[in-house]
Amino acid sequence: MKPIRCLSAVLLLLAALPGAAHANGRKLRVVTSTQDLASIADAIGRDHVSTLPLAKGYQDPHFVDAKPSFVLQLSRADLLIVAGLDLEVGYLPPLIDQSRNRKIRPGAPGYLDASVGCEVLGRPTQQITRAMGDVHPQGNPHYWTDPENGRRIARSVAARLAQLDPAAAGAYAGNLAAFEATLTRKTAEWEAKMKPYAGREVVTFHDSWPNFAKRFKLNVAGHVEPKPGIPPSPAHTLEIINLIKARKIPLILVEPYFDLKTPKFIAGKTGAVVLVFYPSVGGTPAIKDYFALFDTNLDAFVAAMKGRG
Amino acid sequence: MTILDLLLPAFVASLILTGIHAYLGVHVVERGVIFVDLSLAQIAALGTTVAYLAGYDLHSTAAYLFSLAFTFLGAVIFALSRVHRSTRIPQEAVIGIVYAVSAAVAILVMSKATQETEHLKEMLVGNVLSVTWPELARTAVLYAAVGVFHYFCRERFLNISMHEEEAVRRGYNIRFWDFLFYVSFGFVVTSSVAIAGVLLVFCFLIVPSVAAMLFAERLGPRLALGWTMGALVSAGGVALSFFLDLPTGATIVATFGAALLLLAVVRWAFRR
């Protein structure tokens, strides 16, 4: 028995090595690229982890101004969770290099791409060129706006935390079960809330909502800015205006970090309503966690649709 | 709604912008303060961000007053920094410094605000297609007021811009008149940038004035040439953006560039 016990102790120690510091009671340091991922990691890790999001929910996650503290936080991180699909390609790779933290390099156990295993929409089926604007060749990176993808993210986070910190694996599994139970209950609630609007058409500012629309059975009829970052041409603007008028589309959904001038202009021409729709936790102080993200957006949606048929 | 309903306000906006900017452009080019509009627009944007940090809504009157107050501050700086004789520091250097510092401070202010500041970055971009008739009417009244003011003070403004020695000889208070010039200029630029964005406003200001200088020296012909060119190029740019299905503002800017090149070639062929 003794050699086996010894061996298993060594194995345990080896397995715990990536989180070696954790063995002496320190919390696992988890850095995430967005606040959504931090919220999910918090729910799974609870008091075993400390989480820190780099981009705030009110910022455009494609363009984040790097601060010196980012490098410091990355250098101390035990686990880095990214949304992937090139969402962070504009700022994160050089920061990982500068942090000189081998644990969180892509491919290392301390690097988790949350999109793996999630349902990703909008993978281009044709050759990508710069002429298409700022597109994501690997698919639409706003996949967490579907709660089922939130569940998948939570599962990968729980598995990875258990791998880095086997001592607390039981706690992570328990927290995951609790998170999933709440999510199942809330999702039923959310779907019931959106049921009266199934099949309704909306216009969105950017192509950020395919997962959300699919889950809650909305049809995205068009985008105000067809190519992200390039102002719309007169013909396209006219097309959207006439589309909204012809099909009586009630809402234009706009992320909080875009200027409302063009959407408001189109709304003024058509009678549609501009609704600020939050793609991330922290988009407004009321959205404190992943569940509040849907609560806030769906309540705003229902309120805006009241009396508009 | 037809394409004409959409393009007409943009075209009228271009005409109104050409009206005041082609005139102010003569001053700006004569004074050699080419980037003063970028600098004033940036300082006005900084005023808006500070208002936002102080808790006012972005599109509120208070935010507008903040941006005006900052524009006044910019006017004071530019009036005081007229070419410094003892050190020979060019005014363009001061303009550049004001631009860079106010842009940087705006970023710092934004990083301290808690939400919804990201689109401040787009404040200087503008979309000339989304201008509305009431907005145009307000802008036209404001520009007319500035135009009338400049008409009544034309002797002093023009002498200071074009014949500085003469202005000195007549004993004008140059700093005071410079201050008034930059304040009125700031009024115009702050609202035109909100409509058309920095790139387009820069073009309306500089290109007609430079093009006119290729062919004329006296003020009258220069203004006439500038206005004609501005109006024609605006119409051409708006039409091109429709036929080629391109973003309107950027198309007008590129058309201005092409027109200027064409005029330069014409002049070269004509004078050879």
Structural domains in chain B, sorted by start: 3-271 (1.10.3470.10)
Confidence of residue A49 (pLDDT cuts 50, 70, 90): very high
Give the residue ranges of DSSP H helices in A86-233.
Answer: 92-99, 147-164, 169-194, 210-215
Residue A5 has pLDDT above 60, yes or no: no
Chain A residue numbers touching B246 (CB-CB < 8 A): 233
Confidence of residue A15 (pLDDT cuts 50, 70, 90): very low
Chain A residue numbers touching B8 (CB-CB < 8 A): none
Confidence of residue B87 (pLDDT cuts 50, 70, 90): confident
Phi, psi for A88 (deg, rounded to 5): -100, 10
A226 or B200: which carries more pLDDT confidence?
B200
pLDDT the model gives residue A23: 47
Q: Cα-atom radius of gyration of chain B, to the nearest Å? A: 19
Asked whether the beta carbons of A89 and A57 are under 8 A apart, the reply is: no
Confidence of residue A293 (pLDDT cuts 50, 70, 90): very high
pLDDT the model gives residue A8: 54
pLDDT in tens, B46-58: 888 888 888 787 7
Residue B223 has pLDDT above 90, yes or no: yes
Both tokens assigned to A243 = 């589309």
Which CATH entry fits the domain spanning A2-188: 3.40.50.300, 3.40.50.1980, 3.40.47.10, 3.40.1190.20? 3.40.50.1980
pLDDT the model gives residue B125: 64
A184 or B108: which carries more pLDDT confidence?
A184
Asked whether the beta carbons of A29 and A76 are under 8 A apart, the reply is: yes
Of A4-8, A11-15, B155-159, B232-236, which one has max mean pLDDT? Answer: B232-236
- Residue A105's Cβ-count burial label (10 Å; 0-12, 13-18, 19+) is middle
pLDDT the model gives residue A228: 66
How large is the average pLDDT for residues B19-40? 90
Residue A308 has pLDDT above 80, yes or no: no
pLDDT the model gives residue B121: 58
Asked whether the beta carbons of A29 and A45 are under 8 A apart, the reply is: no
pLDDT in tens, A192-230: 999 999 999 999 998 889 999 999 999 999 999 877 667
pLDDT the model gives residue A207: 86
CATH 3.40.50.1980 fits A190-305, yes or no: yes
Instruction: Report percent pLDDT > 90 for chain A.
Output: 56
Residue A94 Cα, gap to closest chain B Cα (Å): 21
Both tokens assigned to B2 = 């037809």
Amino acid making up residue A218: L
Question: What is the SS3 assignment for A81?
Answer: strand
Confidence of residue B270 (pLDDT cuts 50, 70, 90): confident
Asked whether the beta carbons of A226 and A236 are under 8 A apart, the reply is: yes
Tell me the average pLDDT of chain B: 87
Tell me the average pLDDT of chain A: 85
> Within the 201-260 window of chain B, which residues sit less than 8 Å (CB to CB) from chain A?
238, 241-242, 245-250
| Interchain proximity A234–B122, CB inside 8 Å | no
Residue with tokens 């809504």: B57
How large is the average pLDDT for residues A182-199? 94
How large is the average pLDDT for residues B159-164? 84
User: How many interchain CB pairs under 8 A, A with B?
Assistant: 86
**Interface test mutation site (partner A, options B7, B48, B58, B115, max chain A beta carbons within 10 A):** B115
Residue B259 has pLDDT above 90, yes or no: yes
How is chain A split into domains, by residue range? 2-188, 190-305
pLDDT in tens, A102-139: 999 999 999 999 999 898 887 766 555 555 555 567 78
pLDDT in tens, B55-82: 787 777 888 889 889 999 999 999 888 7
- Cα nearest neighbour of B245 on chain A: A233
pLDDT the model gives residue B117: 53
Task: Kindly write down the DSSP assignment for every residue of A13-58, as one continuous string.
Answer: HHHHGGGGGGGGTPPEEEEESSHHHHHHHHHHHGGGEEEEESS-TT
Asked whether the beta carbons of A225 and A205 are under 8 A apart, the reply is: yes
Confidence of residue B122 (pLDDT cuts 50, 70, 90): low
Chain A residue numbers touching B245 (CB-CB < 8 A): 233-236
pLDDT the model gives residue A307: 67
Asked whether the beta carbons of B3 and A244 are under 8 A apart, the reply is: no
Domain A2-188 and domain A190-305, same fold? Reply is: yes
ipTM above 0.95, yes or no: no
Chain B residue numbers touching A233 (CB-CB < 8 A): 241, 245-248
Does B113 lie at the interface with A, CB-CB under 8 angstroms?
no
Asked whether the beta carbons of A84 and A57 are under 8 A apart, the reply is: no
Asked whether the beta carbons of A206 and A139 are under 8 A apart, the reply is: no
pLDDT the model gives residue A231: 77
Residue B119 has pLDDT above 70, yes or no: no
| Interchain proximity A265–B130, CB inside 8 Å | yes
